[in-house]
Amino acid sequence: MLDHEEKFLFKEEILHLSNAVAEPGVLDNVEDLLTDVITSPRFDSEVFTLERSLQVMLGPRAGTTLVGLLTVAPEVFDEVAEVRIPSEVHERLVAWRARFGLAIDNALNFLNNPDGIQGHNFATQVAHVDDRRVLQGRLTLVRYNNEPQFFMADASVFLSLVADIMERLGPYLEPDAVEADTLGRLRDAIALIERKTASRT
- pLDDT, tens digit (0-9, with 9 covering 90-100), for 8-26: 788 899 999 999 998 889 9
Give the mean model confidence (pLDDT) for residues 148-172: 91
Question: In this model, does residue 29 exceed pLDDT 90?
Answer: yes
Give the mean model confidence (pLDDT) for residues 130-136: 87
Last residue of a domain, one of 84, 112, 140: 112
Last residue of a domain, one of 60, 79, 112: 112
What pLDDT sits at residue 42? 78
Better-predicted residue by pLDDT, 133 or 111:
133
Last residue of a domain, one of 77, 112, 147: 112
Better-predicted residue by pLDDT, 188 or 145:
188
For residues 141 and 156, state if they share a domain: yes
What pLDDT sits at residue 201? 52
Q: Which of 157, 158, 146, 166 is nearest to 122 (CA)?
A: 158
Sheet holding 132-143, edge to edge: 117-129, 132-143, 148-154
3-state DSSP call for residue 92?
helix
Q: Give the Cα separation of 69 and 2 in Å (integer).
A: 14
Question: In this model, does residue 132 exceed pLDDT 80?
Answer: yes
What pLDDT sits at residue 191? 95
Better-predicted residue by pLDDT, 198 or 111:
198
For residues 30 and 95, state if they share a domain: yes
For residues 105 and 123, state if they share a domain: no
For residues 26 and 105, state if they share a domain: yes
Q: Give the Cα separation of 68 and 131 in Å (integer).
A: 54
For residues 17 and 83, state if they share a domain: yes
Mean pLDDT of all residues belonging to the chain: 87
Give the CA distances from residue 74 to residues 1, 69, 102, 197, in Å, rounded to whole numbers and listed in that order.
10, 9, 11, 60
Question: In this model, does residue 165 exceed pLDDT 60?
Answer: yes
Contacts of 127 (CB under 8 A, 6+ apart): 133, 134, 136
Structural domain count, the chain: 2
Question: In this model, does residue 5 exceed pLDDT 80?
Answer: no
Question: In this model, does residue 86 exceed pLDDT 70?
Answer: yes
Backbone angles phi, psi at 197, to 5 degrees: -105, 10
The pTM (predicted TM-score) of the whole model is: 0.54
For residues 58 and 104, state if they share a domain: yes
What are 154's strand-pairing partners?
A: 136
What pLDDT sits at residue 144? 65
| Percentage with pLDDT > 70 across the chain | 91
Domain hosting 73: range is: 4-112
Q: What is the pLDDT of residues 101-122, one digit of tens each?
A: 888 887 777 766 666 677 889 9
For residues 190 and 126, state if they share a domain: yes
